C-alpha cells in the first residue's frame, strides 16, 4: 500500500483527527484557535500533516480532505462550549482546494449543513495562492468575505507575494512565520523583520498572529511591539478536539 492509497481510505476508516491550538491575546485571554489535521494511522501511528498534506495536494485528495476538515471545524463551532462565545476558528485552506471549481459553493453547503456562523471562521492561506491567479483569488476571497469569513496569510514573509498583491487582496490578518519569531529577541535582523511585518499590518489595518511562540523571551519581545495574538507551545500545544472543548468547559 502506498501512502496515497491509504490516504484515500483514511476518511472512510475514520482515521483523521482534528487537533486544535488556542490563540491568546496579550492579557492571556483565549481569542481563537487553529484547527490542525492529524492522521491516526492504524500501523504507522500518528502522522503529521507535513507528511501527507503535500500528497493530498498533488493528488487532488485535498479537496475531499479539506471538506472534511471544514465540516468538522464548523461542527465544533456549533458545540455548546463554543456556540455562544466569540472565539474565532482558523482553518488551513491549501491553494488547490481554494482554486478548485465550486469551492465557494461547497463552503456554503457546509455552513448550511452545520449551521455554523461564518463570521467566526478564518481561512488561513499561504502567499503561493496568488501566483498567476490574482483576479481569481480576489474574486473568490471577496465572495467568502461577503459571507463573513476572514482571511489570514499564513507563514507570512516566507513566500513570494509582493506588497502590491497584498494590498489588492481582501485579507484581514497576517500570521508572522515562526522562523522570524524564533530569534527576534537576540537577532537584530529578525527583530527588524518582525517590526517591518507589524508596520505593514498596521498600515493595511490587519490583525496579527505571532505563531510558534515558545519562550518567555519571545513573548516579552513581542509584547513591547504592538497588540497581537500569540500562538505557540509556550501557551498551549495542539490538542485533540475533545480536550480543547474540555479546556473551554473548565475555563467557564
Report the site for ligand G in 114-173 (rule: CB under 6 A): 124, 154-155
Q: Does 92 bind ligand G (CB under 6 A)?
A: yes
Q: Does 229 bind ligand G (CB under 6 A)?
A: no
Of 81, 154, 173, 241, which lies in the binding site for Na ion, with binding defined by CB under 5 A?
154
Nearest to 129 by CA among 91, 172, 100: 100
Contact 207, 201 (CB under 8 A): yes
Q: Which three cell numbers stand for residue 164?
A: 502590491
DSSP string computed for 23-86: EE-TTS-EEEEEEEEEEEETTTEEE-HHHHHHHHHHHSTHHHHHHHHHHHHHHHHTSHHHHTS-
Of 20, 39, 73, 92, which lies in the binding site for Mn ion, with binding defined by CB under 5 A?
92
Q: Which three cell numbers stand for residue 112?
A: 448550511
**CA Rg, the chain, in Å?**
18
**Candidate segments 76-84, 160-168, 192-200, 232-240, binder of ligand G by CB under 6 A:** 232-240
Report the nearest approach of ligand G to the CB of residue 84 (Å). Answer: 25
Report the site for Mn ion in 190-249 (rule: CB under 5 A): none
Residues in contact with Mn ion, shown as a per-residue x/- string from 154 to 193 under the rule CB under 5 A: x---------------------------------------
Enumerate binding residues for ligand G (CB under 6 A): 21, 36-37, 48-50, 53, 66, 69, 92, 94, 124, 154-155, 178, 211-214, 231-233, 238
Amino acid at each position: 500500500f502506498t501512502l496515497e492509497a491509504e490516504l484515500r481510505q483514511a476518511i472512510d476508516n475514520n482515521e483523521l483527527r482534528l487537533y486544535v491550538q488556542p490563540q491568546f491575546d496579550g492579557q492571556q485571554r483565549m481569542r481563537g484557535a487553529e484547527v490542525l489535521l492529524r492522521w491516526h494511522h492504524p500501523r504507522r501511528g500518528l502522522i503529521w500533516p507535513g507528511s501527507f498534506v503535500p500528497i493530498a495536494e498533488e493528488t487532488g485528495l485535498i479537496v475531499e480532505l479539506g471538506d472534511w476538515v471544514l465540516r468538522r471545524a464548523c461542527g465544533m463551532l456549533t458545540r455548546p462550549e463554543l456556540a455562544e462565545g466569540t472565539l474565532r476558528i482558523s482553518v488551513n485552506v491549501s491553494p488547490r482546494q481554494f482554486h478548485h471549481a465550486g469551492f465557494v459553493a461547497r463552503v456554503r453547503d457546509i455552513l448550511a449543513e452545520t449551521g455554523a456562523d461564518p463570521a467566526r471562521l478564518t481561512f488561513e492561506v499561504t502567499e503561493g495562492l496568488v501566483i498567476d491567479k490574482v483576479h481569481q483569488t480576489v474574486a473568490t476571497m471577496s465572495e467568502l468575505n461577503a459571507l463573513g469569513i476572514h482571511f489570514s496569510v499564513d507563514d507570512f514573509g516566507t513566500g513570494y507575494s509582493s506588497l502590491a498583491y497584498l494590498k489588492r487582496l481582501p485579507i484581514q490578518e497576517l500570521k508572522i512565520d515562526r522562523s522570524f519569531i524564533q530569534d527576534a529577541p537576540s537577532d537584530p535582523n529578525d527583530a527588524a523583520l518582525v517590526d517591518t511585518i507589524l508596520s505593514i499590518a498596521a498600515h493595511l489595518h490587519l490583525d496579527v498572529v505571532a505563531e510558534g511562540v515558545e519562550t518567555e523571551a519571545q513573548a516579552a519581545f513581542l509584547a513591547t511591539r504592538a497588540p497581537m495574538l500569540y500562538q505557540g507551545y509556550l501557551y498551549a500545544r495542539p490538542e485533540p478536539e475533545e480536550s480543547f472543548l474540555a479546556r473551554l468547559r473548565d475555563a467557564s
